[in-house]
A and B are shown apart, each in its own frame.
Chain A
Amino acid sequence: MSGIYIHIPFCIRKCKYCDFVSYADNPLVADYLYSLLKEIRLSKENIDKIDKNEYDTVFIGGGTPSVMPLKGIESIMNELSKFFNISNNAEISIECNPGTVDLSKLQEYKLSGINRLSLGLQSADDEILKRIGRIHTYAQYVESLDNARKAGFDNINTDIMHGLPRQTKTIYLDTIDKVCKLGVEHISSYSLILEENTLLYNEVMAGKEMLPDEDETYDMQDDGIKKLAEYGYIRYEVSNYSKHGRECRHNINYWENGEYLGLGLNSHSAMKLDEWTRWNNTSNLKNYIECLNKGKLPRENIEKISKNDEMFETVMVGFRMVNGIDISAFKKRYGISFEEVYESEIKELIGKHWLEINDERAKLTQKGMDMMNSALMCFIK
């Protein structure tokens, strides 16, 4: 499997908890689109090897891709299919925020080949939405979802969060109830991570905002998992739930440590060139545009990954999935079995009842999932 990620670093307004590279209300949207199209073309021309793949997934994320004016996304999709080999049954997703899409944009997306939508809701509580700096209300989400269905989307994710300012378990479970009843195919529920250099961080540090404590947040998550299961959403990764067969293929590729090509500002890539290699694009918008104007790819930190590190990465991302790691695929990829490489680590984790292993898969137990960081630290050599 391999995927393409495309980053659109613009938002109407930056959410208070966000530390991703994104710009609110930036006049450079047009220049950016122009540069991005150029990057698509250059990527193909410069590194032939990249084109050996047939791409099974495309993900347009942000920022908020849906702030792109009408026809912007369509031209990206056109350019992409002109230069890259996208498979016929590829999963092609785009992230949208309520308040930035109307029916005509959604129809444009559908017509340009996009077949999966990810709507950022975060909470169905308008008071909380305001507190975290979201630009929309719950009603606007419902409207966007309604329009998406009208435009013909039948594979829709909704992002929600727990551990938000002044969120209680009741409020969180109510959001789950509402979203599940609307029948979306996929739900991601992330717990808020308070990152430094965000507005929310400053507010919390200054005592102006209150977050639920650790235990309350864990309770939300635990009860959320149960409630989601009651509605038929199966947890297949730490923070991801879906109806049967509706797992996000693009993300699963990440978690299987597959190849992906990142395009756009600050996007990341991983490819098997001579060796397993990772790089990222510059995170500076001006540099990105200038670099491409000069006909150069804006890549940085090109890093060859040793086999040891590559194996660790496979474990690190693989254990995020409830199904864990495919051990026959591991042996095929590295020429050595998982049990052989990590003999003592496996023993230790099985002893703690954190790991289960059979002929096909090695996966963390419920307890092991909860203690994932500690579990993974054993595997760092």
Chain B
Amino acid sequence: MAHSQDLIRNFCIIAHIDHGKSTLADRMMELTDTVQLRDMEDQLLDTMDIERERGITIKATAVRMFYKHKDGNTYMFNLIDTPGHVDFTYEVSRALAACEGAVLVVDATQGIEAQTLANVYLALENGLEIMPVINKVDLPSARPDHVIKEIEDEIGLPAENAPQISAKTGLNVEQVLEQIVELIPAPKGDDDAPLKALIFDSIYDNYKGALSYVRIMEGTVKEGMRIRSMATGNEFDVTEVGVFTPSLKPTDALHAGEVGYIAASIKSVAETKVGDTITDANNPAKEPLEGYKQANPMVFCGIYPADGAHYDDLRDALDKLVLNDASLSYEPETSIALGFGFRCGFLGLLHMEIIQERLEREFDLDLVTTAPSVIYRVMTTSGEELMIDNPSNLPPVTEIDYMEEPMVTANIITPTDYIGTIMELCQDKRGIFKDMNYLDENRAKLIYELPLNEIIYDFFDSLKSRSRGYASFDYELKEYLKSDLVKLDFLLNGDMCDALSTIVHKDKAYSKGRAVAEKLREVIPRQQFEIPIQAAIGGKIIARETVKAVRKDVLAKCYGGDITRKKKLLEKQKEGKKRMRQIGTVELPSEAFMSVLRIN
């Protein structure tokens, strides 16, 4: 039996990091007896270790709860947990599109923070009802009245009736459940119309294949049905449908308005992409749901096993990760310095960090990664057009007619106090000022055109530190523009190290060359001879540093009879040596390759 649509509420929670999103979700699951207390683990919805540790949500997840309201009815709640980072804006927008409402959690001690605003606006764009909740009112420094005024002034939402809760202690969380019923609209969809299911995420399950997490907008889906992806035209037979309790639980069918998963022996998540519409192959919908986009990688870097012998392990790990992450791309490449590895493409810098971390933790791999790059368009003198995502593949200067780099339009929302310093930052990153307007007396929106290669390093971090965390930032890829770019190379004891090469704007080449050379001097251990480090553009040396020769390398300490410890130290040192990369005569530790990245 279908649950009456009037008694369904689909919503997400929008909150700044640490404002209590996951804790509130946990309390709601407890109050609705969705999970037993004994199964409670903090932050139930964030299943990856990285999510729990960083306090961020990377993958969207969902949970179904049943809530008995004082009106006597039992309501079905579907809470969809969304990621919250600029890299995943598109995924967030699809998860929001699957909901009718959003619970906006604001910390009563902190007030609204700018990152939240971007997601609130995204929710408003998707026509969601926003329901404010003031959290952490149990803390001595809580200022709920002030925060209510802030919500009303800054977002323009009435907030005088917002529940004042403590997700930690459970205070007034019941009110949140009541208001979800009262304020968030029920879904509207025709059970008998042709199927339209919005995919808001997909994960790979070892037994069931790729699972599509869906919101049924129209129609009904059940086991045995033949379904079709409206983006690709691929068809599959449904082997199972089910809901999130939060663990997967099979059901007979999913009806219009409901949230659940579809299994159809799909081989990888690449075939069930976020934003796609699933329909009935035998009775297809006329139009797909709006808003589907192909998510293309924008940032590339080389990933290599620290020990060349683990190449196969790295390949297996990437094969597995991509089953679960359609936006990750990779293809084999080789480097003189690093041997065999992969050129991988990511949605953004956070995505890149997450993949690296997952490779290292979930697959126990030691990696060497090269500096991230964007895709450059190169016109050769022979009239050929090349797309270059690896500096090493750049043709010789004499064969290059001109080069173009990808530009983005960046929207930055900031408290007015930080406008000056943020404009400075954008200028420093070769930004072109486009527009500025005041959202209200305290906040402004800046629009800049920026080269993508300037924002993939540390732009986000700089923005945050310059604005004390208040500025938020979003970007959209625009066209390619001609640019004066050069390849910056590094030589160690006279040998070029291809993995350290980067493409930079000519005006920045000198300062970057000097900074990287200095950094390399710090991270390269002394060896038995002096090592000159040179930065070069074309054949021209622009900076030079020297690593002095080693003098002594001996354990002076006496560890008593603990010979095992001494032996282990040596073995570790030998292992470290094995993991060093040989560039000509020079041995280079993995950190050296990252030093190109970490330059301010």
Contact at B570–A5, with CB atoms within 8 Å? Answer: no
Q: Is B39's CB within 8 Å of the partner chain A? A: no
Q: Is B550's CB within 8 Å of the partner chain A? A: yes
**What's the minimum C-beta distance from A87 to chain B, rounded to whole angstroms?**
19
Chain B residues 521 to 577 lying within 8 A of chain A, measured CB to CB, are 528, 550-558, 560-564, 566-567, 570-571, 573-574, 577
**What's the minimum C-beta distance from A125 to chain B, rounded to whole angstroms?**
20
Contact at A268–B553, with CB atoms within 8 Å? Answer: no
Interface centre among B556, B557, B573 (most CB of A within 10 A): B556
Contact at B555–A372, with CB atoms within 8 Å? Answer: yes
**What's the minimum C-beta distance from A306 to chain B, rounded to whole angstroms?**
12
Contact at B564–A251, with CB atoms within 8 Å? Answer: no
Known A380-B571, A380-B574; judge A370-B561 contact (CB<8 A): no
Contact at B551–A370, with CB atoms within 8 Å? Answer: yes
Contact at A260–B570, with CB atoms within 8 Å? Answer: no
Known A371-B528, A371-B550, A380-B574; judge A191-B567 contact (CB<8 A): no
Contact at A215–B553, with CB atoms within 8 Å? Answer: no
Known A268-B563, A270-B561; judge A377-B554 contact (CB<8 A): no
Contact at B552–A313, with CB atoms within 8 Å? Answer: no
**What's the minimum C-beta distance from A188 to chain B, rounded to whole angstroms?**
8
Contact at A218–B570, with CB atoms within 8 Å? Answer: no
Q: Is A269's CB within 8 Å of the partner chain B? A: yes
In the assembled complex, the Cα of A193 lies from the Cα of B567 at a distance in Å of: 17
One of B554, B570, B574 near A238 (C-beta < 8 A): B554
Interface string of A337-381 (1 = CB under 8 A from B): 000000000000000000000000000000001111110110010
Chain B neighbourhood of A186, CB < 8 A: none
One of A61, A280, A370 near B552 (C-beta < 8 A): A370
Interface centre among B556, B560, B561 (most CB of A within 10 A): B561
One of B550, B553, B570 near A380 (C-beta < 8 A): B570
Residue on B nearest A251 in the bound complex, by CB = B558
Residue on A nearest B548 in the bound complex, by CB = A215
Contact at B556–A193, with CB atoms within 8 Å? Answer: yes
Residue on A nearest B550 in the bound complex, by CB = A371
Known A313-B567, A377-B577, A380-B574; judge A372-B561 contact (CB<8 A): no
**What's the minimum C-beta distance from B186 to chain A, rounded to whole angstroms?**
58
In the assembled complex, the Cα of A206 lies from the Cα of B511 at a distance in Å of: 29
Contact at B562–A373, with CB atoms within 8 Å? Answer: no
Contact at B561–A373, with CB atoms within 8 Å? Answer: no
Chain A residues 218 to 244 lying within 8 A of chain B, measured CB to CB, are 218, 221, 238-239
Interface string of B387-415 (1 = CB under 8 A from A): 00000000000000000000000000000
Residue on B nearest A372 in the bound complex, by CB = B554
Q: Is A317's CB within 8 Å of the partner chain B? A: yes
Q: Is A303's CB within 8 Å of the partner chain B? A: yes
Q: Report the contact-size class of chain B (Cβ under 8 Å from the partner).
A: 20 to 34
Q: Is A262's CB within 8 Å of the partner chain B? A: yes
Contact at B552–A376, with CB atoms within 8 Å? Answer: no
Q: Is A190's CB within 8 Å of the partner chain B? A: yes
Q: Is A121's CB within 8 Å of the partner chain B? A: no
**What's the minimum C-beta distance from A310 to chain B, rounded to whole angstroms?**
10
Q: Is A122's CB within 8 Å of the partner chain B? A: no
One of A190, A221, A268, A373 near B573 (C-beta < 8 A): A373
**What's the minimum C-beta distance from B247 to chain A, rounded to whole angstroms?**
40
Contact at A269–B574, with CB atoms within 8 Å? Answer: no
**What's the minimum C-beta distance from B159 to chain A, rounded to whole angstroms?**
44
One of A190, A268, A301, A312 near B561 (C-beta < 8 A): A268
One of B528, B556, B561, B564 near A254 (C-beta < 8 A): B561
Q: Is A169's CB within 8 Å of the partner chain B? A: no
Q: Is A22's CB within 8 Å of the partner chain B? A: no
Q: Is A116's CB within 8 Å of the partner chain B? A: no
Residue on A nearest B556 in the bound complex, by CB = A191
Contact at A371–B552, with CB atoms within 8 Å? Answer: yes
Interface string of A55-99 (1 = CB under 8 A from B): 000000100000000000000000000000000000000000000
Interface centre among A239, A254, A257, A374 (most CB of B within 10 A): A374
Residue on A nearest B554 in the bound complex, by CB = A372
**What's the minimum C-beta distance from B528 to chain A, rounded to whole angstroms?**
7
In the assembled complex, the Cα of A316 lies from the Cα of B557 at a distance in Å of: 14
**What's the minimum C-beta distance from A76 to chain B, rounded to whole angstroms?**
17
In the assembled complex, the Cα of A369 lies from the Cα of B551 at a distance in Å of: 11
One of B555, B560, B574 near A61 (C-beta < 8 A): B560
Q: Is A157's CB within 8 Å of the partner chain B? A: no
Known A313-B567, A377-B573; judge A371-B553 contact (CB<8 A): yes
In the assembled complex, the Cα of A370 lies from the Cα of B564 at a distance in Å of: 22
Contact at B557–A372, with CB atoms within 8 Å? Answer: no
Residue on B nearest A218 in the bound complex, by CB = B551
Given contacts A239-B558, A270-B561, A377-B574, 16 further A-B contacts (CB under 8 A): A254-B561, A254-B563, A267-B560, A268-B560, A268-B564, A280-B564, A301-B564, A303-B564, A316-B563, A316-B567, A370-B551, A370-B554, A373-B553, A374-B528, A376-B570, A377-B577
In the A-B complex, the 7 residue pairs with the smallest Cβ-Cβ separation, listed nearest first, are: A268-B561, A372-B554, A191-B556, A370-B552, A377-B574, A373-B553, A193-B557
| B binding-site residues for A, Cβ under 8 Å | 528, 550-558, 560-564, 566-567, 570-571, 573-574, 577
18 contacts between A and B (CB under 8 A): A5-B560, A190-B556, A193-B555, A214-B551, A218-B552, A254-B561, A254-B563, A257-B563, A268-B562, A270-B561, A301-B564, A371-B553, A371-B554, A373-B570, A377-B574, A377-B577, A380-B571, A380-B574
